[in-house]
Structure 1
Amino acid sequence: MVEYQKPFEDTVQELMGRGSYQAKAMVRNKSKVSLEHLFQTKGDFQNPKLLILLGVAGVGKTTLVQKLMMDWALGKLYQDNFDFVFCLKCRELNLLTGKQSLVDVLLLNHNYLLPSIGQILKHPEKILIVIDGFDEFRFPICQLQHQLCTKTDEPRNIDNLLASLLRRGLLPEACLILTTRPSALEQMKVIKADGCFEILGFPEEHREEYFQHFFADEAVAAQAFQHIKENEVVYTMCYIPIFCWIVCTVLKEQGKFVNNYPQTATEIFVHFIIISVKYHNFSGQAGLRACLQKLSKLAFCGVQENRIIFYPEELKAAGLELQDMTSLFCTEILVKEVVGTFSVYSFIHLTVQEFLAALSFFICDNCTLESFYDLDITLRFLFGLTNPSSQNQLAQHIGPFSPAATAQANHWLQVNIELYTTSAWSGEFFMKLLYALFEKNDARVTKEALATATSIGLPSTPLSKVDCLVIRNVFQQGNVPCNMEFNLEGGDLSDGLHVLAPVLHKFGRLL
């Protein structure tokens, strides 16, 4: 965990794009921030009261606050600061109907405090409230200041109650910790935080340590880690603990790493889904396909609406009934969590949800490519799934992919590559095409795409190390015409010029 040094307008792509950002942040922030020092006075912030813990899906935000509460309960942390620590989970707050007071909400999971809650709230300076999963909250919190609640026993709608806490209308003397994904930073503008810290996940040495713990055989662990480290695009994603687990699961199942090692994120998830369905009994291929159709439909709806938490009524709307959820396959992919007296569901990781959303384009009816244009990661998986090898491997288990959907995706890619060489597309749009080619991982298609190009341009485009790795891979795979011009003028290449070096000699002219 390090101090977050970016403005709240965070445009860094979650997960895939953030892997190289994490490496930079590790270098930039030489000293880590420990839980013990979160509430220390620092710089302009005297006696900080409201802190934000930021991190992408699956990086460990909830685990960290659980550790915080456990250490406090064991007398190891904040003993002089707080007499009471409450945790409010936004996925639970979403389920509350009607008007609630803060007292009602605090007692939801602590009903035994009913006789003393009034006395507890008389000393708000000794209270810490953790609000976990703010990005999962269904409602906006942009309440006007004069609408905020100020009384702990006054019933309000749950969105007003949360806004009143965060905007310091309620219990302004209490301390708050808010956990969230970067996707919710836009809403943070109305919150006056006293500090923001980012959980960065596994540094490089912890990734290697994870592989060593996962594989019983030390030599196999070293071989697996070396292979993943050589694939830098996939390796940068391994800062997410659960992605490390997915990668290790795939490598362990394959057994032999050299010949059939997955090269792209799409190929990783193709193998992961195959492993997940391999040992589970369905009523034939049709039963599995029907189950995946429902799951992928749910995944796509969630990605479209930037949601990772699903409630029983949403599962039902996607056609998933209770009997579907008893399948071991479903419970491995879609995890059930009991929150109070309710059940909520989430895919085991956001990348799995995005992969299944992409799969919906090929196995569900009435999907149009236009629906995916703004879903960058899902779109990459979609083009990765047009790879014949990936399709064939999955089709053995779930039946054929729609030929019309595959043709539509291939046509879109071909047309837009051709248009780019003759039109003034933005650098960001061309990067989208390059990522599509990279995930597709089809040397013939890449060569055809580059064959007639005379000019490639990414001017004034900030390029991460991962972006540069993708560019290098695509141009190594394709034949670059000797007269091709490559325009990088004004772009930020501080992280990736050395990465591009092996292919720059192929271009007739560099700008």
Structure 2
Amino acid sequence: MIVFIKHELEMYKKLLRKENTNYYRKVKQIRWNLKQTVLSMTMSFLNLMNCEDVASALQNELIGIIQRPLKEAMKNKYHHVSEGIAKQGESTSLNKIYTDLYITEGGAGHVSKEHEVRRIEKNQMQQDLQIECRSMFELLPGQDRPIRTVLTQGVAGVGKSICVQKFILDWAEGEQHQYIQFIFPLPFRELNLKKGHYSLMDIISFFFPETKGLILTDQNKVMFIFDGLDECKLPLSFHKNESLKNVCEAAPLDVVLTNLIKGNLLPSALIWITTRPAAASMIPAECVDRVSEVRGFNDQQKEEYFRKKISDQDQANKIIDHIKETRSLHIMCHIPVFCWISATVLQNILEKTENKETPKTLTEMYTCFLIFQAIQGNKKYTGKKDLDTPWEEGAALALSELAFQQLEENNLIFYAEDLKSCGIDTSKISAYSGLCTQETVRFLGTVFSFVHLSIQEFLAALFAYICVQNEHRNVLEPQSTSQESKTTQLIDFLKTAVDKALESDHGHLDLFLRFLLGFSLESNEKLIRGLLTQTGSSSDCQKEIVEYIKLKFKENTSPERSINLFYCLNELNDDSLVKEIQSSMSSGRLSEMKLSPAQWSALVFVLLTSKEKLDVFDLKKFIRSEECLNRLLPVVKEAKSAL
């Protein structure tokens, strides 16, 4: 310690002779280091001499010294936010645009076996106890057990990280949570590749150099935020790792984290973990005091978003009305990122012409968004404007191939070598503005991800469709030497995709399938004509795949997969089954009808996706039979009461 002080003093003397802003900053840093070091040494000496009162006073002084630069760093990092991916140098004040999200308490933290979009659909029909982001660790009425660890789940792009950012910013600005002395955000994507043995204090001082010299005890009120559990590559072996209780004892990172979460290290520390639902079970239930779920925007918040985003209120009202008319778009708008995509597309269309047809399906919306981003990229990087065909075939194919490869491996984040393997120059990634984003982190260098999982699924479907149309290649089947010469027709490929999606336990291909089928429509094929060397006979193909999907209802697929099949029919502009059931319901003939498997599925779909929430399920309105009750169980489960 004495050697360190002597070294710092020598540097201090040298720098005082210089007249430069950078030197001045270094002088300030050295003065701060010296003050902090002297305080730490004095505290250690006083503790040895049993002068605990004086040592405690100095500890408070040291906390104040560390807090100030730490909070300043947090304010600089979290004060601004970019929506989607901003233009260079463009960002918005978080406090200016932040709107409270719909967050509820509850859930077992189990593995979800359904696609995230379906989870959003179901969530909108449930009425659970609502909590606010700033109250995440506060007790609700009737609760008396202290809350140490909170697991917050939510689908990709729903606002989990924004909640975390707002919580930290409120603390750093002195607005909220001042009972907490230190907040340490440690995203899993930055922890993943940290190799070797480290103590908890080593990890903290590495990420937060302002804390140098601080030794945390259980007397300190601190919070650790682990954002993105679904991106964690560490084993997190809660039941196998050895016990660790000393914050200065080095151990593998996995051991340090599991002991911190379990409460062996710093039992009084608050722990906040965010994750997508599929990864929630990585944390044992006994280690979690509260499970909360971020559900994005409710209906009122959606409208509020569009009115804030779009200054022309007449235009905002037209967009809101259009979204309300289309159930699949309205559901997706519970995800804030999809609101941004919709606003981008619809505002651009309405500004150009009042009479232009606006997208009514997901495939149309995402294809228009991709075209918009391609045009913006051409204007910015090539100077070309108003191109009839804005595609650069190589670039679009490379990006969609990357999306497909990473979706197959269930990767949300990827690295420079992944881009290079698809022929993408990492130095030109900014040309994909609005689709793909990059972030420089301490351990990994630069990591990449798509703006939202649904964009990755859309581009993956685009790659698959281009391959089958241009090369007659089925990317869903492993390519062996004997199969390389085998050609696949579009209709056969689409049938294979339907079958594979239905085989999935957790629906990871549901949205991918919707997009894939959507591309087979002639109207959508025209939008991507610059990427296709040939097209199929789409009208015949459309009729055949619609009939194939209707046949699949006879196979007693799960309610989740059946509902997705109806959304697939919607992408194919076929609503015959739904209209048939709606007509029977409105005429009162439903209770007298003998329904086919497809009609039963249609009935479940209509009831579950109705704009009106079902308060009471009354069996006599349908067919009073055991089969009816079994078929409609998904509907019964969503009703508040059943007769």
Out of 336, 339, 360, the residue aligned to residue 263 of structure 1 is 360
* Compared CA separation, residues 378 and 86, structure 1 to 2 (3 A): same
Deviates more, 1:295-304 or 1:63-72: 295-304
Note the C-alpha offset of 1:205. Answer: 1.8
Cα gap change, 1:183/1:246 in structure 2, threshold over 3 Å: closer, same or farther? Answer: same
Question: Against the structure 1 CA distance between its residues 406 and 38, is the aligned structure 2 distance closer, same or farther, given a 3 Å change threshold?
Answer: farther
By how many angstroms is 1:185 displaced? 1.9
The aligned counterpart of 1:277 is: 374
1:136 aligns with 2:278: no
Distance 2:334 2:145 in 1: 33
| Number of the residue aligned with 2:596 | 455
Work out whether 1:417 is the aligned partner of 2:559.
no
Q: Distance in 1 between matches of 2:390 and 2:299?
A: 42
Counterpart for residue 198 of structure 1:
293
- Residue 156 of structure 1 is aligned with which of 247, 251, 254? 251
Distance apart, 1:239 and its partner CA: 1.6
Q: Quote the sequence identity (%).
A: 28
Q: What is the alpha-carbon distance in structure 2 between the residues aligned to residue 3 and residue 228 of structure 1?
A: 25
SS of 1:17's equivalent?
A: helix
1:237 to partner: Cα distance: 1.4
Q: Deviations over 1:338-389 (max 9, x none)?
A: 2236211111111111111111211245512557523112112111121121
> Structure 1's 129 and 409: CA in aligned 2 closer, same or farther, altered over 3 A?
farther
* CA-CA distance at 1:296 after TM superposition: 1.7
Gaps of 5+ in 1: 448-452, 471-485, 498-511
State TM-score, norm by structure 2.
Answer: 0.65
Aligned counterparts, 1:74-473, within 5 A:
74-80=173-179, 82-116=180-214, 118=215, 121-123=216-218, 125-189=220-284, 192-255=287-350, 256=353, 259-281=356-378, 288-327=392-431, 330-340=432-442, 342-364=445-467, 367-368=475-476, 373=501, 374=504, 375-396=509-530, 398-400=531-533, 403=536, 414-418=547-551, 420-421=553-554, 423-442=555-574, 455-457=596-598, 468=609
User: Which of 148-157 and 195-204 deviates more?
Assistant: 148-157
Query: Is contact 1:387-1:442 (8 Å) kept?
Result: no
Determine the C-alpha separation between the residues in 1 that align with 2:286 and 2:400.
35
Q: CA deviation at 1:464?
A: 6.9
8 Å CA contact 2:434, 2:451 repeated in 1: yes
Task: Report if the CA contact (8 A) 2:188-2:227 is conserved.
Answer: yes
Residues 404, 311 of structure 1: CA spacing in aligned structure 2 closer, same or farther, 3 A cutoff?
Answer: farther
Unpaired stretches in structure 2, ≥5 consecutive residues: 1-101, 468-472, 477-492, 580-593, 612-626
For 1:460 and 1:431, the matched residues in 2 are separated by: 7
Provide the TM-score with structure 1 as the length reference.
0.80
Counterpart-to-counterpart distance in 2, 1:313 and 1:383: 31
Report the equivalent of 2:470: none
Mapped partners of 2:434, 2:297: distance in 1: 23
Corresponding residue of 2:162: 63
Q: Secondary structure at the match of 1:335?
A: strand
Tell me, yes or no, if the aligned pair for 2:105 and 2:131 is still in contact at 8 Å: no
Q: Secondary structure at the match of 2:291?
A: strand
Letter in 2 for 1:60: G
Distance 1:294 1:443, change over 3 A: same
Of the structure 1 ranges 238-247 and 316-325, higher mean CA displacement relative to structure 2 is found in 316-325
C-alpha offsets along residues 431-459 of structure 1, whole Å, 9 cap, x if unaligned? 34322212222579999xxxxx9822576
Pair 1:363–1:53, CA change in 2 (3 A): same
In the comparison of the two structures, how many residue pairs are matched?
Answer: 467
Three-state SS of the structure 2 residue aligned to 1:332 is coil
Give the aligned partner of residue 14 of structure 2.
none
8 Å contact from structure 1 (residues 148, 163) kept in 2: no
1:50 touches 1:177 (CA, 8 Å); kept in 2? yes
2:42 maps to what in 1?
Answer: none
Corresponding residue of 1:482: none
Q: In the aligned structure 2, how far is the partner of 1:267 from the partner of 1:389?
A: 9
CA RMSD of aligned residues (A): 3.6
Query: C-alpha distance in 2, partners of 1:425/1:278?
Result: 42
Q: Using the alignment, how far apart are the partners of 1:291 and 1:8 within structure 2?
A: 40
Deviations 1:91-142 (A, max 9, x none): 11123233333222212331132222x2xx1236511111111111123323
Give the deviation of 1:43 after TM superposition. 4.9
Q: Relative to structure 1, is the Cα distance of residues 204 and 463 closer, same or farther in structure 2, using a 3 angstrom cutoff?
A: same
The one-letter amino acid of 2:510's match is: D
Secondary structure of 2:449's partner? strand
Q: 1:207 touches 1:238 (CA, 8 Å); kept in 2?
A: yes
* AA in 1 matched with 2:358: Y
Aligned counterpart, 1:9: 110
- Work out which structure has the larger RCO, using CA pairs closer than 8 Å and 6 or more positions apart in sequence: 1
Show the counterpart of 1:491: 633
Segment drifting more, 364-373 vs 154-163: 364-373
Determine the C-alpha separation between the residues in 2 that align with 1:158 and 1:461. Answer: 51
Inter-CA distance 463–191: structure 2 relative to 1 (3 Å threshold): farther
